[in-house]
Copies of this chain bind each other. A is one copy, B any other.
Amino acid sequence: MSGAFKLVVVGGVAGGASAAARARRLSETAEIVVFERGPYVSFANCGLPYHVGGVIADRRKLLVQTPRSLRARFGLDVRVSTEVVRVDREAREVVVRSRDTGGEYRERYDALVLSPGAEPVRPPVRGVDDPRVMTLRNMEDMDRVIAGVQQAEGPALIVGGGYIGLEMAEALRHRGMGVVLVERLPQVMAVADAEMVAPLHDELRRNGVDLRLNASVDAFETTADGLVARLSDGSRVACGLALLAVGVRPETRLAREAGLAIGPSGGIQVDAQMRTSDPAIWAVGDAVEVKDLVRGVPALIPLAGPANRQGRIAADAIFGRPSRYTATQGTAIVKVFGLSFAMTGASEAALQRAGLGYRRVYVHPADHATYYPGAQTISLKLLFEPVDGRILGAQAVGAAGIDKRVDVIAMALRAGLTVYDLEEAELCYAPPFGSAKDPVNLAGFVAANVLRGDVELWEPEELASLRPDQALVDVRTRAEFAAGTIPGATNVPVDELRARLGELPREKELLLFCHSGLRSYVAARLLTQRGFRARNFSGGYERYEMWSGTAARAAAVSSDDGMLEAQALP
């Protein structure tokens, strides 16, 4: 084989495994060597929390491939427990070290693919090196966490409310463990907009998670009570173990030491074919910098789907094919007990940071026809370009049908479609699955109404400074109004509006709302056509409830955005 083209892959999970398998499909003659630092290749890293929680009972199910199966199927030379410690670009060789024997040797390459992934951040606080303070990245971490859980007296402390933190909170509750979840921000899921994840806070608490927002860990201490975390709010939490899940950082040491270009985001810089600044070296997965599809800027967006596709594209490029990776849009989902939260594209916060103009609408439809049993509310936020209506992002939270709607919008966003296209989307409908006007259509209708000028919106931030010439009008039924409303609102049900026009102040601007924004839209059309000044509240009281707690929490904390935006991949 000495004369054969030789591909070396560093990292045998997700992107690396994809690159190696694809490479073999493209070339039967290439020699392909995969180095993996850990003892396992191609394991199901997104499944780790579910084995901890016992949902995936059989640990072996996580081992999707083994070195032996990869040799049999793809003729790959997979060497586990073997770390690549240096890249000698001049010689086109890597220096590898056996983790078992400590012995080092060199391996020649014609093409090198780096797929080192991203490592959990360990905040530099006192006591963080205590063995009971863990992270979760691979099978070994998982085994340690499970052993820790079995020995632990007292609850688990989870630090960080991103994907891993939330999934692990659920997992450990499933195992019957007490869970304290500490999150430095006033919200979980830093990548999301605050109001859209507010229902996750309630869901966590409903399921027995002691959620501490606006708090971080100052130190870990060992006391007579065992491991104790001192929190920034002055409280102390005695815990059997702690899991750090405050985000991940691209593993770029190898690339940096080899002098490869690192992008402004801190990830390995690659071109559209995943090639680094060295023409013989490619890089894929969580360690690379990608282009953010919506914002067009370099970004770190660690996700399993993109990692797999990048591996495929790198292999294509190495074997002379024109495949290109365009950009990452950040489509992701997390299950939190009975709810799920999903998003695609940019969040409102990200658009604000980027200085990009946008409009936002909220809808709260049922996941399927309400007359069919089991319908669940979907809270869906749609962000779009204020002139041409191009879709910029979507977020949704609810108990069912979340993934479907975000996937459809993700496809539309990728295609550069507009909110008008969402109006026209022709989707599956039968009562168990959706509605004749699907939530995706509905979001399109509401957004298009705004762009066409059919209705003007008011925003909740205005509530803090209502003027005397403004009046809040709740157009829901008397019963809904009695059960709770926005402070200061008067009640005129939409179905009585025409008969009670005389009661409404013509000299005031009417700020209308209902439960979800639909009835108040009808009311706004009615009133503006009859000479009133009226604006609608997109998303209605449902959104108000999501927003109000969020606003209070945000006001209670100084604006500290030090949190790493890049959460661990699901």
Contacts and interface: CB of A to CB of B under 8 A. Distances in A.
A60 B420 CA distance: 34
A147 interface: no
Interface in A416-432: 417, 421, 423-432
B426 A410 contact: yes
A73 B495 contact: yes
Interface string A20-31: 000011111100
A144 interface: no
Contacts of A424: 309, 326, 414
B331 A426 contact: yes
A14 interface: yes
Interface stretch (A116-124, A256-264, A298-306): A298-306
A47 B305 contact: no
A56 B373 contact: yes
Interface stretch (A358-366, A401-409, A540-548): A401-409
Nearest to A332: B428
A476 to B, nearest CB: 13
A85 interface: no
Contacts of A426: 303, 305-306, 328-331, 344, 410, 414
Interface stretch (A232-240, A334-342, A483-491): A334-342
Given A14-B436, A56-B372, A404-B407, A335 B47 contact: no
A304 B494 CA distance: 27
B404 A62 contact: no
Interface in A429-444: 429-434, 436-438, 441
A14, A305, A342: residue with the most chain B Cβ atoms closer than 10 Å: A305
Given A438-B305, A494-B73, A522-B25, A433 B331 contact: no
A551 interface: no
Contacts of A28: 525-526, 529-530
A61 interface: yes
Given A411-B408, A428-B342, A436-B308, A47 B371 contact: yes
A317 interface: no
A412 interface: yes
A149 interface: no
A272 interface: no
Contacts of A437: 305, 308
Contact of A305 (B14, B29, B414, B436): B436
A3 B427 CA distance: 41
Contacts of A526: 28
A91 interface: no
A522 B73 contact: yes
A406 to B, nearest CB: 6
A224 interface: no
A55 interface: yes
A307 interface: yes
A425 B404 contact: no
B55 A371 contact: no
Interface residues of A, number: 88
Nearest to A525: B25
A346 to B, nearest CB: 13
A72 B496 contact: yes
A47 B415 CA distance: 34
Contacts of A431: 44, 46-47, 50
Given A46-B369, A371-B44, A522-B25, A307 B425 contact: no
A446 B527 CA distance: 55
B332 A429 contact: yes
A344 B372 CA distance: 23
A433 B340 contact: yes
Interface string A161-188: 0010001000000000000000000000
A333 B423 CA distance: 19
Contacts of A309: 423-424, 441
A429 B570 contact: yes
Interface in A549-570: 570
A75 interface: yes
Given A25-B525, A522-B73, A56 B428 contact: no
Question: Nearest 8 CB-CB pairs, A to B?
Answer: A72-B495, A333-B428, A28-B529, A61-B371, A304-B436, A415-B415, A404-B404, A430-B570
7 contacts: A28-B526, A46-B436, A167-B430, A305-B427, A332-B428, A333-B429, A411-B427
Given A340-B433, A411-B412, 10 more contacts: A44-B431, A305-B426, A307-B436, A331-B427, A331-B429, A403-B404, A404-B404, A406-B428, A408-B408, A415-B421
